[in-house]
Amino acid sequence: MPLDPSTVGFQTKPFVFEYSFQQTVLYALGVGATRDELDFLYEGRGPRVLPSFAVVPSYAPATTLFEQTGCDLLKLLHLGQVVRLHRPLPAAARLETVGVVKGIYDMKKLAQVVLETRTTEHGEPLFDTEWTLLLRDSGGFGGPRPPKADVPKAAPGQAPSFVTTLPTSPEQALLYRLSGDLNPLHADPDFAARAGFSEGPILHGLCTFGVMTRALVRNLGGDERKIAAIGAQFRKPVWPGDPIRTEGYDLGNGRFALEAFAADRPEPVITSAWAEVYP
């Protein structure tokens, strides 16, 4: 089924997502958390919940929107992700999430699809997410160009405020997918090869996003509750087992610019990343 621009504005029914500490701990392990981050891994300490966990209750509505637009999974590239939190995530909750197709944009050979979700607990806003997807060989349909993003950036020559390298395991994608992102690109070597990755399954962009979030949390004194929003653009593939180096730039007024690198490769795998934090 070809990409359908007429689906812009389509809204899902509310999706209910109930979770307990098992889901938040599984997610933390999926993005590489270790025993020195025990607050996120042990129910005896809550547990605390990484802000990037917000993508997990959003998978089902985002997938429904993805299918509604006619996206081809083999052509899909996850370009960007934003999470905005209205308050810290509870250790257990019953949530309702509604998704909407925000935009479908023409980039000549490529198409860009933007999906949004809004999640509430007991009717009160908890967090919002935005998913930006690229589809290869799907442009040229005469649609509008995507709007330009205005994201915080480090000044030329500015030294990073922190540099944190965190490992991933060769099984990281297989563990992360148990939180709900079951795209075979991250598990099946044959599917990965058909999608253009002859080296094998790649790590989920959202797993790298979670590792970057952990790095930011470490440099906020371990207090994830300081994060109000975090966003990123995914530029290069990461393979399970690659260590991920996050560089953070304090821009003042509670704003950070972020970049992430994988293994010893010089080009960043995440760019145009940013965070808003409370004092």
Residue 186 counted as domain residue: yes
The yes-or-no verdict on residue 147 having pLDDT over 70 is: yes
Higher pLDDT, 230 or 148: 230
Mean pLDDT score, 235-244:
97
| Helical ranges in the chain per DSSP H | 21-30, 55-69, 172-176, 189-194, 205-218
pTM: 0.94
Residue 143 counted as domain residue: no
φ and ψ at residue 139, rounded to 5 degrees:
-85, -165
Mean pLDDT score, 202-224:
97
pLDDT in tens, 5-51: 999 999 999 999 999 999 999 999 999 999 999 999 999 988 999 99
Residue 79 counted as domain residue: yes
140 pLDDT band (50/70/90 cuts)?
A: confident
Mean pLDDT score, 78-91:
96
pLDDT in tens, 57-81: 999 999 999 999 987 777 888 999 9
What is the domain-level CATH number for residue 167?
Answer: 3.10.129.10
Residue 246 counted as domain residue: yes
User: Residue 155: what pLDDT?
Assistant: 86
Residue 56 counted as domain residue: yes
How high does pLDDT run on average in the chain?
95
Domain that holds residue 111: 5-138+154-277
Residue 277 corresponds to which amino acid?
V
User: Residue 163: what pLDDT?
Assistant: 98
Token pair listed for 160: 């990073």
Residue 144 counted as domain residue: no
Q: How many domains does the structure of the chain reveal?
A: 1
The yes-or-no verdict on residue 1 having pLDDT over 80 is: no
Residue 147 counted as domain residue: no
Distances (CA, A) of 221 to 18, 48, 87: 29, 14, 18
Residue 148 counted as domain residue: no
- How many residues are listed for the chain in this entry? 279
Residues marked as catalytic: 181, 186
